[in-house]
Amino acid sequence: QVDTFMFEGHDTTASGLTFCFMLLAHHKDAQDKIVDELKEVLGDFKRPITIEDLPKMKYLERCVKESLRLYPPVHFISRSLHEDVILSDYLVPAGTFCHIHIYDLHRQPDLFPNPNKFDPDRFLPENSVGRHPYAYIPFTAGPRNCIGQ
């Protein structure tokens, strides 16, 4: 348990931030929009960012979500089925280990058009309508999701 809290929670956050910074380094337009948003929220930059400021930084949030979509810190998970499941007319029996490759899930063109492109606006509310709730799971989902999120 200590290993989980000390390392896994830290590693996912660190790798998520690293990929976000890498993508922003390659997309000057996104950097500029974030700076503009910071100017709007903070004004003259003479004060530190507060927790109350974070919900106002919508574009920054979309950039983080998009970087986590492209480079999820948890890229692969396995789960054991507790009951039989019918999947496309196939019976998958209880006890079967199912593997979900999150990296590939996040790059499915039917879920995310032009999936290899860095596009923070795909997370605008109007662009997320109808998207399956489990189409985007950078830290997995459910009761065993990642503590690093």
Amino acid at 53: D
Domains of the chain: 2-144 (1.10.630.10)
Nearest to 93 by CA among 81, 102, 104: 81
DSSP string, 47-70: S---TTTGGG-HHHHHHHHHHHHH
**Tokens 């949030």 sit on residue:** 61
pLDDT tens sequence for the chain (149 residues):
555 554 555 567 888 899 999 999 999 999 999 999 999 999 877 888 999 999 999 999 999 999 999 999 888 888 899 999 999 999 999 999 999 999 999 999 999 999 999 999 999 999 999 999 889 998 755 444 444 44
d(CA 44, CA 58) in angstroms, rounded, equals 19
Q: Is 146 annotated as a binding residue?
A: yes
Cα-based angle 44, 60, 4 (whole degrees, multiple of 5): 120
